């Protein structure tokens, strides 16, 4: 009797990995030998002084910038040479430090556009999202999950800046990513109001891995479970918030004694 064997494909332990990732512009090395991993469901912060290479690293991961050397893996598959669009389709979504919303459209319409793209409708629904029940339902469900349903019918140009940042996160989530990259989600929000962003981040689905760049250390220490410190294009150290807060090297190059 012939026996058959079945092979089971193991889920990779890390949803995003980089190995020896480097970017040089001539003799200038912007990022150097970055070995980086994000676990599934992680809440991971990337911090460092201005010019440390944080945005360049995220640009490399998302495919906006091509690396000089090194490799990038998403869900166990190499994506180093793939387009940004391919990476979005594979489960990688990003928000930007400066939001790029359609300000004349409502919040629901802004959220419906990436849903339409994900469903293969493209731009056919531009100005007609209300006629597509699936788009309306999915947009409303997502906004409700994030506590933003009350804003659904409001044009973006009538929103406060902090609300616009929240809508931008909702748009990224509409792509149903495995990994969500947040580029300074609290940027431009008045001091003392970053709590609205924290409240939203805490509503995000637990299965989504979140990597965020942020200069608001109160937000970083309250939300992140792991922190990577980037200095002069390379990783200085990684650890829990408590470990990073207690690290003399981190305090000297970035945090300062006010966070000691």
More confident call, 8 vs 75: 75
pTM for the predicted model, two decimal places: 0.84
pLDDT digits (tens, 9 = 90+) for 179-197: 999 988 888 777 767 788 8
Q: What is the pLDDT of residues 56-102, one digit of tens each?
A: 999 999 999 999 999 999 999 999 999 999 999 899 999 865 556 88
pLDDT bucket at 114, cuts 50 / 70 / 90: confident
Residues facing 213 on adjacent strands: 46, 183
The Cα–Cα gap between 232 and 194 comes to: 28
Computed over every residue of the chain, the mean pLDDT equals 86
Sequence spans of domains, the chain: 14-100+177-259
**How far apart, in whole angstroms, are the C-alpha atoms of residue 113 and residue 119?**
10
pLDDT at 184: 85
- Cα–Cα distance measured from residue 254 to residue 70, given in angstroms and rounded to the nearest whole number: 27
pLDDT over 70, % of the chain: 88
Secondary-structure class of domain 14-100+177-259 per CATH: alpha beta
Phi-psi region of 196 (alpha: psi -120 to 50; beta: other; left: phi over 0): alpha
Per-residue pLDDT tens digits for 141-155 = 999 988 899 999 999
Average pLDDT over residues 17-46: 95
pLDDT of residue 21: 97
If you average pLDDT over residues 38-60, what whole number do you get? 94
**Res. 4: pLDDT tops 90:** no
């Amino acid at each position: 009797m012939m026996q058959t064997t079945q092979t089971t494909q193991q889920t990779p332990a890390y949803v995003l990995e980089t190995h020896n990732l480097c970017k040089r512009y001539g003799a200038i090395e912007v990022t150097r030998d970055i070995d980086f991993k994000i676990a599934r469901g992680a809440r991971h912060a990337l911090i460092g002084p201005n010019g440390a290479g944080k945005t360049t690293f995220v640009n490399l991961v998302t495919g906006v910038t091509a690396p000089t050397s090194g490799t990038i893996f998403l869900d166990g598959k190499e994506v180093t040479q793939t387009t940004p669009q391919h990476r979005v389709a594979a489960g990688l979504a990003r928000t930007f430090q400066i939001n790029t919303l359609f300000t004349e459209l409502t919040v629901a319409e802004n959220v419906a556009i990436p849903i339409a793209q994900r469903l293969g409708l493209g731009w056919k629904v531009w100005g007609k999202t209300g006629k597509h029940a699936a788009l309306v339902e999915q947009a409303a469900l997502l906004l409700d999950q994030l506590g933003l349903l009350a804003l659904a019918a409001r044009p973006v140009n009538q929103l406060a800046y902090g609300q616009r940042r929240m809508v931008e996160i909702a748009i990224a989530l509409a792509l149903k990513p495995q990994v969500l990259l947040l580029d300074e989600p609290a940027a431009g929000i008045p001091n003392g109001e970053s709590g609205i962003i924290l409240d939203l981040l805490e509503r995000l689905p637990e299965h989504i891995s979140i990597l965020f760049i942020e200069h608001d250390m109160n937000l970083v220490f309250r939300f992140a479970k792991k922190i990577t410190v980037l200095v002069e294009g390379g990783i200085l150290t990684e650890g829990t918030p408590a470990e990073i807060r207690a690290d003399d090297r981190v305090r000297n190059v970035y945090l300062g004694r006010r966070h000691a």
